[in-house]
Every structure is written in structure tokens, then in C-alpha cells.
């Protein structure tokens, strides 16, 4: 332990060391402060980073305590000149100094928890921005500060600045008559940074918003005014010290600005809040930071490969490892890795658009067979027998209802049956989504758009089939057996028969904990593949999670925790928003609306929306694919085979169970996230509506991209109604004013849709009857043919 009288003014000093330290606590002082005086109580001389903190944390949270000093002086003395360094220069020095200190002690990957007072908080934000920006291989060591940071406590930090008069008063009070008057005329650079509306401060804050959700954060404000002799006032008011940010904890300390960071005892106001957070973070931090370092090492290797490939050019292809495929989350797969079960970012899955007049096949965009499908032989055979029952067919219909709990595999069974027995249905197959009435209407509308259908089906026969009184048969779908669940899990993980006994044993234990629910098994397997976590470790962490009788809770909670631990805040933000929309949403519709989000809600991963999609896909939270949309109402191929010209529509699909979980877990934040989702919808609708109304009808050139306006309006209607349902489920008396305003804006858009939609649908239906081509105008989906990379050009 260092004698506090010997603590140097500048640089890193360890003032308390523990042989089994799990984290580094780093203290940063503010303007005119120093690493000793700033944290020492004036009345008792208690230096709380040493005298109080280690004992309070106890043996369960061992730490090293570091203090950092830098020249934050605003006046020259005989011993020391005033600082003329800019904030970014101080930040570079801090990162370099701390990186060197931790590197020489072999603690570069240890979690960091910061306690920053006043200007120290601005310095810290600039330092973390700087550390995060270092991607060059020669400076990657300095990224360790960003990667290892787990939590931050801001004490009286002027995030929005403070008035110059206030800071001038502080300086005058602190320096009294010894401070030269010319100092205020020249205005030191650090004071300039702290002025309200300062461009440097704004840039630091905007940049920090891209990364802040990665950290645990507390922000404290002073509750006592500082006495400036002539007047008393708050140095940093609560509006500046506590900018509203989701996930941040705020509190006040009953002290002045200077004394709020000086705790004289464990009963001092604010001390318990600060130290409770530090203790909790010390315990949580190691496992989280370990995962983030795993991600960092993989990304570093990827950057090295890309750099070498760029330098070596074609010659790089001949080196081992340069062609190793990577997962969408940035991990490398070995040669024996199984095919991914999620769609690629650009390859259409729907390759089964109608090929002949006698074989129509119209399905949603995410429709594809599961890569791994096990068991269900009895159910598939029973379904086939029921559907081909000649007696039931003679009575009108041989319809079958497959029923079972959510996530049990009803859709998977239906898809598997279709791909097994498609040849038994030469008249065609249509997949109608039936989660909501709006989805059913949309899918029937797509069937009506198919002009070949009017040549094939007698409308009287169709009406007789639809009005048949025959009740459907019931196929009850039960849970998979343990052995089937084992095979599904191990197959999803890419393991091959014969399975190792230890793998079978661990798989059996895990699937039993999941109630043998296929959706949860799939999600868990995708998570393990994305994080490369061994089955044994995943099983251990699963057992430690709370169980509430629903297998979906710990499964999705595990995925959410993993994303949080890995710092994937953009992905979490996006899935929170998607949880309120319909299951199927065009990427272009979403991209148009995301521009409504402010800088607090980042949805881009490393500046790319596509990378955020890739993360959610890797964790099996969404699927992305292209569907073949009907391009023309009357055009056919020259051989009159019944083919219809189509165009791809880039879409995202989210399982309803996923949506329910993420919407419900938002708890107290649910209204604010729903408000953001509505803002995304309204912005998207306004832009698409303006685009459609101002555009000229397209030519009849079948190669001209674009979708008909009815489809665009129908999609907006479906998603808007879904959002309104979420609002209506909440008690009106408990709605926040912002959500009430958002609901009014949402209703205005929904009310404008029916008349326009009715007019356009009548025109389209008339064209079907007359055999004419209906006029079409490019709408919200007209840019969906753009390459995925083009989405990153949107200022989201």
C-alpha cells in the first residue's frame, strides 16, 4: 500500500493491491483536482479508496485500487503550469498509461470499473471512444481499455456542459486573489470543453452514445449548492449530470460538487449506493469480460487476415486458414462444421415459385426445410393419411388441424410434410399464415394476384370447398422423446454419429431441462455455435438460471444475457423494436423507419445494419431471406406455361415466442420501447407514402423493379394494427404522455390507409378480370433489390 503523501500528481498509481484481485477500480479526478485531495474528506482526512472501499467490498470482491492523475489545473503556480492540453491529448495519455501499467503486470484482460468526478467523466468518455477506435494492428493493445471496461460511476460529470459564468466563479473561489485576471480572458482549453454547446463536448457525447450500452453505468448529481461568497449555486445541475439514457441508474448525493466524491465514513450519503454497485460489478465482471475478450480475439484475427489478404492479394489464397469460413458473428468454422440453419444475407430461399401451371407453390419468405429434422415419423404418416382420406374428400374437405404448445414444432412438421410429399399435390400448394386475420387476408391477396389461378379454378368449386361444413381432423403434436431431442441438439451442434457417451449424457440432461421443446433446443444450439461455448459449460450455466415452469424463459434469457455480455447492444435494441411489429417485415420498410431513432438507440453494429442482422441471425432470433413477389398481374412466359414474373423482397422473420419474450422482459421500459417502435413505423410510412404518391406509374417493362402500392399499404396496415394492439393492452390511465402522443400519430396513419387501399385493390381486381396490367407505382419495397450493403448508406 502506498503512502498517500507519496502518490504522484501524474500517471497511474496503485494505492491498494489484493493478491487475488478480480478487477481494477480506477479513480479519475476532475478540474483542478489531484489523485489524493479529490478523494479525501476534508473534516476527517479519510481517503476512502483505501481507508473504506476494500473493507466494504469484502473477501468476495477482491480488487486493486488505482488512481490516475493528470494536469487539470487552470492556473499556473510557481511549481506547476496550467494545462494547455486538449481533452483528446489527456485521453490518449490516459489510455497509453493504463495500457502500459496493466500490460507489464499481466492484467490487461482484467475488468475495469471507473469512478470519475466532474471533468474526469468527460475525459473517460473521450478515452473510451479513442480506445474503441484503435483497430490498427500496431495499436491493438490499447483497445484493451475499451474491451475490459465493465462499469462506470459518474459523479457530478457535466455531460451537457456548464455555463462559463459558473466555471469562472469556481476558479475565482478556488484561486481567490492569487489567480491572475488574464487567465479568464485567455480561457483555458479544458474550461472551453466544459462550456454548454461546445462542439468538442457534443462530439464526445455523440460518439459515446454508440458504446455506452455496453457498460454498467451510474450517474450522480449534487444536491447542495456551492458557496461562491456572493452567491450559492449548483456547479453541475441534474439535467447536465443526468442525461436521460436507457439502462442508466441515477441518484443524488447530499453534498456540494466538490464534496460529493469525498466520503468520510461508510454512512456518508451516497457511499452505500456507489460501493454496492462496485461490489456487484466486481462479482459479475470477470465472466462477462472474458466473453468479450473471446469476441475481441476472433475479430482481431479476422482483421489480421483481411489485412494480410489485402497486402498479399491473390497469393493469400494459397496460405492455410485464409479461406476458413466465418460465422455471421465473426467466428471461424472448421472444415467439418455443419451447414448453417439460418439463411444467408442475400440468397433467396424461395426457389419454388410456380414452375408450371399444374404445380403452384406460394409460400412466405422464410419458408424452407429445417436443416436438422428428427423424429415425428408417426405424426408425418398420420398427417398424410388424414389429408388423402378419400372418404373425407368426397364429403368436401380433408382438412387437418395440427395443434400443440408454442415452439413444439407445428410449422416444422408442416414444412417437412410439404417437402416430403409435394408431388402428391399437382394442383399446387399455398402456405397461409394464420396468426392474425390481417396475415390471412394478405396471403389470400397474394393468391388472388396470381393471374394463373383464374384459369385453373372454377370459382363455384372454390366456393363449395370453402363453405363445406366438414369439420377438420385433429392431429395433436406432443413433445419429442428424450432420444429424439438428444439427436436434434447434437445434430444442430454439428456433431455426427456415433455420438460420444459424454455428449449423449450432457445432451440428455439439457433437453430434459428444456422440456424437450424443439424451439428452445434450436435456440440453445445456435447460441452455442455463435459463442463456441462447450456443451458442458452451457449446461452448467443453464442449471444456474431461474426456472419458472416455462422452458422459453431461461433459454431466451440466456441468449439475452449472452448478447449483453458480448456488448451487442445494437442487436438487443433492434430485437426490442422488432418484438412489437408483425412477424414478417421487409428490410426496406424497417430501414426507412429506423431513421426516426435518436442517437441513444443505436441499431448498427460497427456502423452496419447488416452486421446487426447477422448477429441476430447467428443467435436464431430472426431469419432473413428473400421471397418471390408477383411482378405483373397479366404477364406470362412466351410458352404460356403459367409462370409468373417475380422479384425478390428482402424480409426479416421473427418467431412469435421470441417476440413475446423480448416484449415482456422490457418490464418498466416497455412503454418507451413501444413508443420508439411506433416512431419507426410512422417515419417509414410517411416516407413510403410520400414516395408512392409522388412517383409516376411504372412502364409495362416486366424487368422494371418495384411493387404494387396495394402490397405496401397492406403491409403498413398489418404492422400498424399490431402496434396499436400492444398500446390498447395497456391501461389508459397508466400510459405515459409520450406513448399517448405516439398512439394518436399511429391512428392518423392507420385511418389514412383503408380508402387508398380499397381504391387500389379495386383497380387491381378489375385488371385481373379484364386481363389488363394494373398501374403500379414503386413503394416502400422498391429499393429492396438493392444489395445488402446499400442499407448501410442510410443515416440510421
Q: How far is CA 759 from CA 714, 715, 756, in A?
A: 13, 16, 5
Torsion of CA 182, 185, 186, 188, to 10 degrees: 100
pLDDT at 222: 94
| Collapsed DSSP state (helix, strand, coil) of residue 280 | helix
Query: Which spans in 36-193 are helix H?
Result: 48-51, 53-57, 87-104, 119-133, 144-148, 164-175, 182-186, 189-193
Burial (CB count <10 Å: 0-12, 13-18, 19+), residue 762: exposed
| H or E element, residue 251 | strand 249-253
Asked if 430 and 360 touch (Cβ cutoff 8 Å), the reply is yes
Q: How confident is the model at residue 167 (pLDDT cuts 50, 70, 90)?
A: low
The residues pairing with 586 across neighbouring beta strands, listed in sequence order, are 651
pLDDT of residue 230: 76
Q: Is 404 exposed, middle or buried (0-12, 13-18, 19+ CB in 10 A)?
A: middle
Per DSSP, 608 falls in state B
8 A C-beta contact, residue 130 and residue 89: no
Q: 480-551: which CATH number, 1.10.260, 2.40.160, 3.40.50, 1.10.8? A: 1.10.8
Average pLDDT on 497-515 reads 82
Q: Which residues pair with 119 in a beta bridge?
A: none
Cα gap 50→59, rounded to integer Å: 15
Out of 205-209, 428-432, 465-469, the most confident range is: 205-209
End-to-end CA distance of the chain: 49
In this prediction, residues 462-487 reach a mean pLDDT of: 72
Cell of 790: 446499400
12, containing H or E segment: strand 11-16
Q: How confident is the model at residue 107 (pLDDT cuts 50, 70, 90)?
A: very high
> Residue ranges of the domains in the chain?
4-295, 361-476, 480-551, 552-793
Peptide bond into 498 cis (omega under 30): yes
**pLDDT for 79:** 58
Nearest CA-CA partner of 190 in 72, 289, 64:
72
Would you place residue 709 in the very low, low, confident or very high pLDDT band (cuts 50, 70, 90)?
low
Least confident of 1-5, 463-467, 658-662, 744-748: 463-467
Residue 735: is it exposed, middle or buried by C-beta count within 10 angstroms (0-12/13-18/19+)?
Answer: middle
Residue 112 has pLDDT above 90, yes or no: yes
Confidence of residue 640 (pLDDT cuts 50, 70, 90): very low
Residue 528 to residue 523: CA distance in whole angstroms: 9
**Phi, psi (deg, nearest 5) at residue 293:** -70, -35
HEC string for 670-681: HHHHHHHHHHHH
Is residue 350's pLDDT more than 50? no
> pTM of this prediction?
0.61
Confidence of residue 151 (pLDDT cuts 50, 70, 90): very high
Neighbours of 467 (CB within 10 A): 8
Counting other chains too, the contacts that 239-242 makes at CB distance below 8 Å and 24 or more residues apart are 239/160, 240/158, 240/159, 240/160, 240/161, 240/162, 240/196, 241/154, 241/156, 241/157, 241/158, 241/159
How distant, in Å, are the alpha carbons of 32, 207, 271, 518, 656 from that of 435? 63, 41, 52, 19, 9
Least confident stretch, 78-82, 286-290, 314-318, 536-540: 314-318
What confidence score (pLDDT) does residue 644 get? Answer: 39
> What confidence score (pLDDT) does residue 280 get?
95
For residue 720, what pLDDT is reported?
93
Give residue-wise pLDDT tens across range 563-579.
Answer: 888 888 889 999 999 99
Residue 106's CB is within 10 A of a number of other CB atoms, namely 8
Instruction: Return the H-helix or E-strand segment holding 475.
Output: strand 473-476
Contact 66, 49 (CB under 8 A): no
Handedness of CA 32, 38, 44, 45 (dihedral sign): negative
Band the pLDDT of 537: cuts 50, 70, 90: confident
Distances (CA, A) of 5 to 1, 9, 18, 36, 47: 12, 10, 21, 8, 11
Model confidence at 717: pLDDT above 70? yes
| Residue whose C-alpha is closest to residue 405's, from 550, 560, 553 | 550
Higher pLDDT, 205 or 783: 205
CATH of region 4-295? 3.40.50.1820
3-class DSSP assignment, residue 697: coil
| Lowest-confidence pick of 78-87, 343-352, 557-566, 619-628 | 343-352
Are 165 and 64 in contact, with CB atoms under 8 Å apart?
Answer: no
Task: Name, in order, each residue with C-beta under 8 angstroms of 18's C-beta and a sequence gap of 6 or more.
Answer: 54, 62, 63, 64
Dihedral through CA 703, CA 704, CA 709, CA 715, nearest 10? 70
Task: Give residue-wise pLDDT tens across range 231-278.
Answer: 788 889 888 898 888 889 999 999 999 999 999 999 999 999 999 999
Per-residue confidence (pLDDT) for residue 666, from 0 to 100: 84
pLDDT of residue 476: 73
Distance (Å, whole) CA 370 – CA 525: 14
Residue among 403, 406, 465 nearest 430 (CA): 465
Note the Cα 243 to chain centre separation in Å: 22
User: Which pLDDT score is estimated for 42?
Assistant: 87
| Structure-model confidence comparison of residues 167 and 344, the more confident one | 167
Q: What phi, psi does 180 have (nearest 5°)?
A: -65, 140
Q: What pLDDT is recorded for position 84?
A: 60
- In the block, which residue shows the cell 433492434? 574
What's the full length of the chain, in residues?
796
Name the more confident of 299 and 459: 299
Region of residue 77 (left: phi > 0; alpha: psi -120 to 50; beta: else) = beta
**Model pLDDT for residues 1-59, shown as the tens digit of each residue:** 667 778 898 999 999 999 999 999 999 999 889 999 999 998 888 999 999 999 999 99
Amino acid at each position: 500500500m502506498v503512502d498517500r503523501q507519496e502518490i504522484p500528481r501524474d500517471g497511474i498509481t496503485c494505492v491498494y493491491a489484493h493478491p487475488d484481485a478480480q478487477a481494477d477500480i480506477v479513480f479519475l479526478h476532475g478540474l483542478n483536482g489531484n489523485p489524493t485531495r479529490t478523494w479525501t474528506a476534508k473534516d476527517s482526512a479519510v481517503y476512502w479508496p483505501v481507508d473504506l472501499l476494500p473493507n466494504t467490498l469484502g473477501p468476495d470482491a477482491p480488487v486493486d485500487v488505482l488512481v490516475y492523475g493528470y494536469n487539470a489545473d487552470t492556473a499556473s503556480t510557481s511549481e506547476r503550469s496550467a494545462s494547455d492540453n486538449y481533452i483528446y491529448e489527456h485521453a490518449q495519455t490516459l489510455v497509453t498509461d493504463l495500457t502500459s501499467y496493466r500490460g507489464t503486470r499481466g492484467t490487461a484482460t482484467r475488468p475495469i470499473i471507473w469512478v470519475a468526478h466532474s471533468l474526469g467523466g468527460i475525459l473517460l468518455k473521450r478515452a473510451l471512444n479513442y480506445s474503441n477506435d484503435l483497430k490498427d494492428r500496431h495499436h491493438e493493445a490499447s483497445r484493451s481499455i475499451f474491451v475490459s471496461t465493465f462499469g462506470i460511476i459518474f459523479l457530478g460529470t457535466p455531460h451537457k456542459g456548464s455555463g462559463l459564468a459558473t466555471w469562472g466563479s469556481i476558479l475565482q473561489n478556488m484561486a481567490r486573489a492569487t489567480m491572475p485576471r488574464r487567465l479568464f480572458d485567455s480561457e483555458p482549453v479544458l474550461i472551453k470543453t466544459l462550456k454548454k454547446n461546445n462542439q468538442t463536448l457534443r462530439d464526445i457525447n455523440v460518439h459515446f452514445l454508440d458504446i455506452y450500452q455496453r457498460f454498467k453505468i451510474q450517474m450522480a448529481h449534487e444536491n447542495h449548492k456551492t458557496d461562491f461568497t456572493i452567491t450559492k449555486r449548483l456547479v453541475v445541475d441534474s439535467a447536465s449530470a443526468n442525461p436521460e439514457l436507457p439502462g442508466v441508474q441515477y441518484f443524488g448525493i447530499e453534498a456540494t460538487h466538490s464534496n460529493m466524491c469525498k466520503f468520510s465514513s461508510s454512512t456518508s450519503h451516497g457511499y452505500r449506493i456507489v460501493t454496492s454497485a462496485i461490489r456487484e460489478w466486481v462479482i459479475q465482471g470477470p465472466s462477462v469480460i472474458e466473453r468479450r475478450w473471446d469476441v475481441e480475439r476472433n475479430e482481431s484475427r479476422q482483421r489480421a487476415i483481411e489485412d494480410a489478404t489485402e497486402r498479399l492479394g491473390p497469393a493469400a489464397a494459397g496460405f492455410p486458414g485464409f479461406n476458413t469460413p466465418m460465422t455471421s458473428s465473426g467466428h471461424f468454422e472448421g472444415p467439418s462444421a455443419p451447414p448453417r440453419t439460418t439463411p444467408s444475407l442475400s440468397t433467396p430461399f424461395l426457389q419454388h415459385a410456380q414452375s408450371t401451371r399444374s404445380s403452384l407453390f406460394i409460400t412466405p419468405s422464410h419458408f424452407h426445410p429445417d436443416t436438422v429434422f428428427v423424429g415425428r415419423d408417426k405424426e408425418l404418416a398420420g398427417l398424410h393419411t388424414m389429408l388423402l382420406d378419400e372418404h373425407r374428400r368426397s364429403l368436401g374437405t380433408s382438412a387437418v388441424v395440427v395443434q400443440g404448445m408454442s415452439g413444439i414444432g407445428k410449422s416444422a412438421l408442416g414444412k417437412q410434410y410439404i417437402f416430403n410429399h409435394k408431388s402428391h399435390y399437382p394442383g399446387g400448394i399455398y402456405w397461409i399464415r394464420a396468426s392474425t386475420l390481417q396475415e390471412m387476408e394478405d396471403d389470400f391477396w397474394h393468391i388472388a394476384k396470381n393471374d394463373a389461378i383464374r384459369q385453373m379454378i372454377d370459382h363455384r368449386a372454390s366456393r363449395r370447398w370453402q363453405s363445406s361444413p366438414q369439420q377438420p381432423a385433429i392431429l395433436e403434436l406432443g413433445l419429442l422423446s428424450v432420444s429424439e431431442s438428444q439427436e436434434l441438439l447434437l445434430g444442430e451442434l454439428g456433431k455426427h454419429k456415433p455420438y460420444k457417451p459424454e455428449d449423449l449424457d450432457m445432451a440428455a440432461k439439457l433437453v430434459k431441462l428444456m422440456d424437450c421443446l424443439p424451439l428452445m433446443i434450436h435456440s440453445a444450439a445456435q447460441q452455442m455455435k455463435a459463442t463456441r461455448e462447450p456443451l458442458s459449460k452451457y449446461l452448467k450455466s443453464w442449471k444456474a438460471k431461474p426456472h419458472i415452469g416455462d422452458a422459453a424463459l431461461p433459454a431466451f434469457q440466456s441468449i439475452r444475457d449472452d448478447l449483453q455480455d458480448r456488448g451487442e447492444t445494437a442487436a438487443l435494441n433492434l430485437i426490442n423494436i422488432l418484438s412489437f411489429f408483425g412477424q414478417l417485415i421487409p428490410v426496406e420498410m424497417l430501414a426507412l423507419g429506423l431513421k426516426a431513432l435518436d442517437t441513444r438507440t443505436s441499431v448498427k453494429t460497427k456502423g452496419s445494419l447488416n452486421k446487426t442482422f447477422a448477429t441476430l441471425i447467428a443467435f436464431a432470433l430472426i431469419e432473413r431471406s428473400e421471397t418471390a413477389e408477383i411482378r405483373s398481374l397479366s404477364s406470362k412466359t412466351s410458352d404460356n406455361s403459367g409462370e409468373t414474373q417475380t422479384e425478390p423482397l428482402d424480409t426479416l422473420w421473427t418467431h412469435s415466442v421470441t417476440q413475446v419474450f423480448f416484449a415482456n422482459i422490457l418490464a418498466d421500459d416497455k412503454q418507451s420501447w413501444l413508443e420508439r417502435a411506433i416512431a419507426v413505423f410512422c417515419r417509414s410510412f410517411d416516407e413510403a407514402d410520400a414516395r408512392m404518391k409522388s412517383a409516376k406509374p411504372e412502364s409495362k417493362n416486366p424487368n422494371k423493379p418495384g411493387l404494387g402500392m396495394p402490397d405496401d399499404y397492406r403491409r403498413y396496415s398489418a404492422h400498424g394494427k399490431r402496434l396499436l394492439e400492444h398500446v390498447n393492452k395497456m391501461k389508459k390511465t397508466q400510459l405515459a404522455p409520450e406513448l399517448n402522443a405516439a398512439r394518436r400519430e399511429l391512428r392518423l396513419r392507420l385511418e389514412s390507409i383503408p380508402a387508398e387501399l380499397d381504391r387500389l385493390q379495386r383497380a387491381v381486381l378489375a385488371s385481373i378480370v379484364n386481363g389488363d396490367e394494373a398501374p403500379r407505382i414503386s413503394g416502400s419495397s422498391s429499393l429492396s433489390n438493392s444489395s445488402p450493403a446499400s442499407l448501410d448508406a442510410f443515416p440510421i
